[in-house]
Amino acid sequence: MSETIPRRAALRTGTLAALASGLLASVTPPAAAAADPPPIDRAEDLLLAIRDVAARLDSRDASNLSHSLDILTDALAGGPERYAAWLAEDGCLDTGSGQRVLDQIGAQEEAERRAAVTHAPVVAKYAAVYHTGEIERVGTTIHAELTETYGEQLGSAINSAAFTLSQRHHDGADPARCARCLEDS
């Protein structure tokens, strides 16, 4: 006995099959997505690329890269939550010309040298203040006073110059008048 399928039933069956096929396609990942490597494989590939490039860096650039990798390592060490917080808060790896750690240190040292020359009396005054108490407490006070008076960059440079002078010459004065320096010579 042959069974005839009514036209409506055939349409419903075809529609149902099309819906099922569409649903399956949305649930099943496409072949390209399945071919993407896991994130750890991609990260390891990047590490190998860094290893290969690092072999060609001079010592200054190697030090800058090492600093950035240390920052990244510290951020990763705390797990995904800490890493996400680091990215949201800062996420800075000190990269790019003028932003690399040794570029920043060089700029700070140059600013300190300029401040020691252009603001010598102020540097000498605050170098002497460093000897009046505990360095951290005094340093915090000095830094606040100098940045309020001279702004963040120049105030910090004067503060650094004063601290350096205080460490070089025990009373912050001219080395020719520093009793301890004269005793050491």
What are the tens digits of pLDDT across the range 46-101? 999 999 999 999 999 999 999 999 999 999 998 999 899 888 888 888 888 999 99
Query: Rounded CA gap, 91 and 98, in Å?
Result: 17
Query: Rounded CA gap, 100 and 2, in Å?
Result: 83
Q: What is the DSSP letter of 96?
A: S
What's the one-letter identity of residue 50? I
Confidence of residue 6 (pLDDT cuts 50, 70, 90): low
As given in the structure block, the two tokens for residue 185 are 């010579």
Query: Between 79-89 and 59-77, two packed helices, what is the crossing angle to 10 degrees?
Result: 120
Confidence of residue 128 (pLDDT cuts 50, 70, 90): confident
Confidence of residue 17 (pLDDT cuts 50, 70, 90): very low
Average pLDDT, the chain: 79
Predicted pLDDT at 112? 94
- Domain map (residue ranges) of the chain: 39-89, 107-184
Query: Rounded CA gap, 169 and 183, in Å?
Result: 12
